[in-house]
Structure 1
């Protein structure tokens, strides 16, 4: 606190561009080093970002000036890289999910606690004005006691645009583990932790055809379910229905709806940081767009790291490991329920992260908007 947090990135794939764009405008974060299994990709980032060194993974983990490792590797490597960073005394912030399994994720959290370092994890979209304005509306009682929610993500599949979509259609992939972190994290932020789940799943095709890039026309086998539906029972008593699909085409309804005794909220896409929040109050004639009232303004990927940098020692970051672990267990349990046909009890919990006041972070000053 009081000085920029020195960050080293491991993994310089496509997603790194979004983090780099936001790091350039965040005083709370200072990028000092990057590493990738492909040295050319790391060097390309270093060449484009003044003051950044391209290192090997081993060199980055050993670097004294790296305080936090941003882990942008593939999900299968998340736990391994995180554990190595923790062993080197570094804080860790990872892309979602926290790990490939809850067992691996628990190992990461236990190691971090023993080492006295922080763990943060995407998605930090829940810190933006979209989800936070919706949360404030709920906290202010605009819909009364929340009763239910729906969360829907429908797409015909990532192979239409992704040049290497293989991992989306293997165990550990699929729509729930890929996109579910955004939706489950948003639901927990809005409605609180989940205590039990029921799931069902299917897949409609045994292979997918790559639609772009050097492998265009090549087929990819499908070995995991690609349409998942879950019912989440929150500790508050609210019920959420989750639909995640790589099989269907499009949905016209809002991505997330929250229904209460005195009104309903249309919540923007939790894969985005902003968007309109609309309220239909009991007795109203139409939807009302609520003014932006909470969250980080004009935020993007990496704001969770800036938030972590300002988190007092001993406190859980808003986009923290406990929330990421709980979301991962919820998703893993929905898939387990789909296989067994039985309701699954959730063993973990996660407090709703502290609300974000309407805040603007710039390259010059962090100010709270009035």
Structure 2
């Protein structure tokens, strides 16, 4: 659901042809302003297989070859999270704009270096997820601007995915046949992988976070895998975040608790909520309280709040309907219009710091005061 491009398409090249790359290719046809010129993976067989499946003519033999291609405007960094920093840094040093899968970097000093480097060179860098640009997120944001539930006091956000280690994850394949990288996923942890889906919404809606008090734990250390894990990462985390606006949010992530991707925004006049942020067209509802015989009944009257526009259907049978390329397209439009990207470098950096603070509570277990901030961002034009 992209508008027709008014300028020449921006050329993108993909680094990393793993599991998530298929999701980007699935939504790429929605964005004619993006032109894929080639792909590269350190595993040559994987990149060749990926390119053959998606009929991509150019397969770069190395990162150096890709970065030397003057036709590439934006590097789409879909590598293993531990490689995000090195690949993004090399791309920026080569004069390329960067859109990175989450997290921006695994350490805060790395993320800060990337943002500073991009700013020094007049380049754009952004980080997934881009679900803030979804029809559902933009609708929730519109309802908040219209004060539909009164003054917001509290938010409950859930990112629970069930007992993943008990699921048949070894049989999970991407569209082009790449296995789900379960060893890497378990070692990175569910917080770094998934907290951003709601962190980006909350910071956009309520402004920069001031402090976060978090607890995380590794409840299933070995994950019962057929190969040993090299490190323990949190498979459960809970964070209480205080925003500059005064709103407090509780965010829970796990791959242990039953599946729950819901959001509830509690205001003085009602509750604004959705069931699942992984669906760009997830319905938005408002629950009101009513008084019957002097007794106040919470959330008994429910109404749907219309989406700002209909979400595109990707025809996916997976556990999500997300337009992964929308963030890349938004960046391309910002570059062409010489305006700040909505998912700006400073916005991405702040969210990276917040997610890292929650993830690292496995070791620290203490309140954390945020050191970064960002300028307010604008809703999408079609959601204003």
Per the alignment, residue 169 of structure 1 pairs with: 186
The answer on whether the counterparts of 1:5 and 1:30 sit within 8 Å (CA) in structure 2 is yes
Work out the CA distance in 2 between the residues paired with 1:325 and 1:295. Answer: 31
Per the alignment, residue 372 of structure 2 pairs with: 348
The answer on whether the counterparts of 1:279 and 1:288 sit within 8 Å (CA) in structure 2 is yes
Work out the CA distance in 2 between the residues paired with 1:182 and 1:227. Answer: 16
Match of 2:12 among 3, 7, 10: 7
The answer on whether the counterparts of 1:69 and 1:93 sit within 8 Å (CA) in structure 2 is yes
Decide whether aligned partners of structure 1 residues 89 and 79 sit closer, same or farther in structure 2, where only a CA change above 3 A counts. Answer: same
Using structure 1 for the length normalisation, give the TM-score. 0.87
The answer on whether the counterparts of 2:289 and 2:301 sit within 8 Å (CA) in structure 1 is no
Per the alignment, residue 310 of structure 1 pairs with: 333
- 1:159-218 deviation per Cα after TM superposition (whole angstroms, max 9, x unaligned): 434434222333xx22211111112112112222211010112232231124xxxxxx55
| Deviation for aligned residue 1:255 | 1.4
Decide whether aligned partners of structure 1 residues 307 and 324 sit closer, same or farther in structure 2, where only a CA change above 3 A counts. Answer: same
Comparing 200-209 with 62-71, which one deviates more in the overlay? Answer: 200-209
SS in 1 for 2:111: helix
Decide whether aligned partners of structure 1 residues 221 and 10 sit closer, same or farther in structure 2, where only a CA change above 3 A counts. Answer: closer
- Residue 211 of structure 2 corresponds to residue 202 of structure 1: no
SS in 2 for 1:54: coil
Consecutive unaligned residues in structure 2, runs of 5 or more: 1-5, 171-180, 291-298, 314-321
Work out the CA distance in 2 between the residues paired with 1:296 and 1:352. Answer: 25
| Deviation for aligned residue 1:338 | 5.3
| Deviation for aligned residue 1:336 | 4.3
| Deviation for aligned residue 1:34 | 0.6
- 1:296-325 deviation per Cα after TM superposition (whole angstroms, max 9, x unaligned): 755601011111111156533122322221
SS in 1 for 2:307: coil
| Deviation for aligned residue 1:337 | 4.7
Work out the CA distance in 1 between the residues paired with 2:228 and 2:365. Answer: 31
- Residue 299 of structure 2 corresponds to residue 275 of structure 1: no
The answer on whether the counterparts of 1:98 and 1:321 sit within 8 Å (CA) in structure 2 is no
- Residue 248 of structure 2 corresponds to residue 239 of structure 1: yes
Decide whether aligned partners of structure 1 residues 341 and 37 sit closer, same or farther in structure 2, where only a CA change above 3 A counts. Answer: closer
Work out the CA distance in 1 between the residues paired with 2:111 and 2:310. Answer: 27
Comparing 129-138 with 196-205, which one deviates more in the overlay? Answer: 196-205
The answer on whether the counterparts of 1:201 and 1:335 sit within 8 Å (CA) in structure 2 is yes
Work out the CA distance in 1 between the residues paired with 2:46 and 2:190. Answer: 28
- Residue 271 of structure 2 corresponds to residue 264 of structure 1: yes
Aligned pairs for 1:1-370 (under 5 A) are 2-50=7-55, 52-56=57-61, 57-159=63-165, 160-163=167-170, 164-170=181-187, 173-210=188-225, 217-218=226-227, 220=229, 223-251=232-260, 255-283=262-290, 285-293=300-308, 297-298=312-313, 300-311=323-334, 315-337=339-361, 339-358=363-382
The answer on whether the counterparts of 1:149 and 1:240 sit within 8 Å (CA) in structure 2 is yes
- 1:4-26 deviation per Cα after TM superposition (whole angstroms, max 9, x unaligned): 00001000012111111222231
